[in-house]
Structure 1
Amino acid sequence: MNPFDRRPTYFFGVYHWRERLRRIGASLSLFGAAVVVGRRGGRLRRLLAALVGVTALVRAGTTARRLLSPVPWALDRPKYDALASLLPLGDVDRALDVGCGSGRSLVGLAPHLPSSTHVVGLDVFDDRVILGNGPQLARRNGARAGIDVSPAAGDASRLPFSDDAFDVVTACRVAHDVPETRRDALFDELRRVCAEDGTVGLLELPITPEGVSDHEAYWRRCLGDAGLSVERVATVERPGFSDEPYVAIAATPTA
């Protein structure tokens, strides 16, 4: 193996970094307070302080490990391969990935796209949730995967594109993050910007409104209500959640 022939390296950002750093800070502050109290008390107080301090350190360590979940440079390719297998990507001229974020889904789909495909990645690019999330990162990760990405900032429920603009429109793990009050608008927009002979691809987690147990049926219904006919469906096991798989769906505009 050639030591200089290395796989491209990616960086997809650190998820929920603000919340997790706050939790780490709170745990370390509690540990510091426990140390101070333990030094000034008797045996019982020192014992209780030690218990609190150890608990705080464990919580800080657990949260610190979660900073690397999902791992910022890892892809978990099988779910994107499953979605790609349902889509006619071999001769796509224009593709749109809604909610591309830092480019994880773009990199996941890249091996299945022709090098000539014009790929647009849309996101709000909010780095308050994902550290480093921005158009530059999406473009860089896409380039390392061999595709030329044109990032576009915008709202998934109000896409800034004309009707029938794309041959393939994908939305990977984003629909569940859209508030329920705007979710119908999201699917209507996916349908609107998809060419009449194009395909919409959805990759989703089993996260649905309260009281909905069949997540596959729910996402199929969302697509159907927007005027999209479900053509193919696949499920992909999630590491550590074998009974809660991803669902990948390909749908085409109805007449």
Structure 2
Amino acid sequence: MLRPYFFGVYHWRERLGRIAAAGVLLAAAAVAYRRGGRTLRAVAAGVAAGSLYRGGDATRRLCSPAPWALDRSKYDALGSILSLDGADRVLDVGCGTGRSVVGLAPHLPDDATVIGLDPFDDRVILGNGPALARRNGTLARVDVAPVAGDAGRLPLADGSVDAVTACRVLHDVPEERRAAAFAELRRVCANDGVVGLLELPITPDGVDDHEVYWRGCLEDAGLTVERVATVPRPTREGTYVAIAATPA
């Protein structure tokens, strides 16, 4: 039987803390309701209702995105515009628990090796570590070689990979360090390689067109944008933008 993927639980500390706090308030409200008079019971009922709402909202958010869900369409959009047929060595920046590797797996050559680079910090994503990235890659039949590192200073030689992908990660890089991160994507990509970017509609203040913004980041790093695709976000407004670029 095929085991399910586990991509970790996002923002787990904050959300579990909110659930625990709601549980404490709910228990206190129940005690006050049983022991109090009419006024105290009314207050306790209001506190209980608020606690149930906050706890329920935190529980819903705890499973969003669902740890086992992939939402393959956005990765298919990126994979469809990349030329990965001859890519023997692929770098996935911000690999995390391997969600993007699994998403791109159908577009990778069978013998490709994916270097999964990430800080592997589990304070934000529960389970974020090399072992989980490797496990999920194995389930998707992809050879994943996890490497701990930072997008702004990639621990790879110049032109050492055939393709570089960065999926939903560079918007998290502080704006003052973002140009350096894009320059690193260009540096490690072979001259006949390709860089693939998948991004959210998140841009600096005052920038409305996220496609133009992310295209500009690639072009400023010395890359030529070849193809662009957009994909609606299933649960939120806006679109993902997928961009394929080659060294200029």
Partner of 2:167 in structure 1? 172
Structure 1 residue aligned with 2:63, among 28, 50, 68? 68
Q: Deviations over 1:68-91 (max 9, x none)?
A: 111101110010000001111111
Q: Counterpart of 1:196? A: 191
Give a deviation string over 1:127-165, Cα, whole Å, max 9, x none.
Answer: 111111100000110011011110000011100000001
For residues 25 and 164 of structure 1, the distance between their equivalents in structure 2, rounded to whole angstroms, comes to 49
State the partner residue of 1:135: 130
Task: State the SS of the aligned residue for 1:146.
Answer: coil
Q: Which secondary structure state, in structure 2, belongs to the residue aligned with residue 80 of structure 1?
A: helix
Amino acid at match of 1:245: T
Please say if 1:86 is aligned against 2:81: yes
Report the AA paired with residue 165 of structure 1. Answer: S
The offset of 1:55, in angstroms, is: 1.4
CA distance in 1, matches of 2:213, 2:109: 32
How far apart are residue 240 of structure 1 and its match?
2.4
Please say which of residues 53-62 and 168-177 is displaced more in the overlay: 53-62
The residue correspondences of 1:37-48 to structure 2 (distance < 5 A) are 37-48=32-43
Q: Secondary structure at the match of 2:30?
A: helix
Per the alignment, in what secondary structure is the counterpart of residue 90 of structure 1? coil
Report the Cα distance in structure 1 between the residues aligned to 2:22 and 2:223, rounded to whole angstroms. Answer: 48
C-alpha distance in 1 between matches for 2:36 and 2:142: 63
Corresponding residue for 1:251?
245
Q: Does 1:151 align with 2:146?
A: yes
Query: What are the ranges of 5 or more consecutive residues in structure 1 without an aligned counterpart?
Result: none
Q: Which amino acid aligns with 2:146?
A: P
5+ residue gaps, structure 2, are none
Q: Deviations over 1:177-217 (max 9, x none)?
A: 11112111110100100111111000000011111111111
- Separation of aligned partners in 2, 1:148 and 1:53: 50
Q: Secondary structure at the match of 2:238?
A: strand
CA distance in 2, matches of 1:224, 1:29: 52
CA offset at residue 34 of structure 1?
A: 2.1
- Distance in 2 of aligned mates of 1:212 and 1:34: 46
CA distance in 1, matches of 2:70, 2:14: 23
Task: Tell me the amino acid that sits aligned with residue 218 of structure 2.
Answer: L
* Aligned-residue offset at 1:115: 1.3
Matched residue pairs, number? 248
- Within 5 Å, give how 1:161-240 maps onto structure 2: 161-240=156-235
* Cα root mean square deviation, aligned: 1.2
1:30 deviates by 1.8
Cα deviation for residue 37 of structure 1 reads 3.1
**How far apart in 2 are the matches of 1:23 and 1:185?**
36
* Percentage of pairs with the same residue: 68
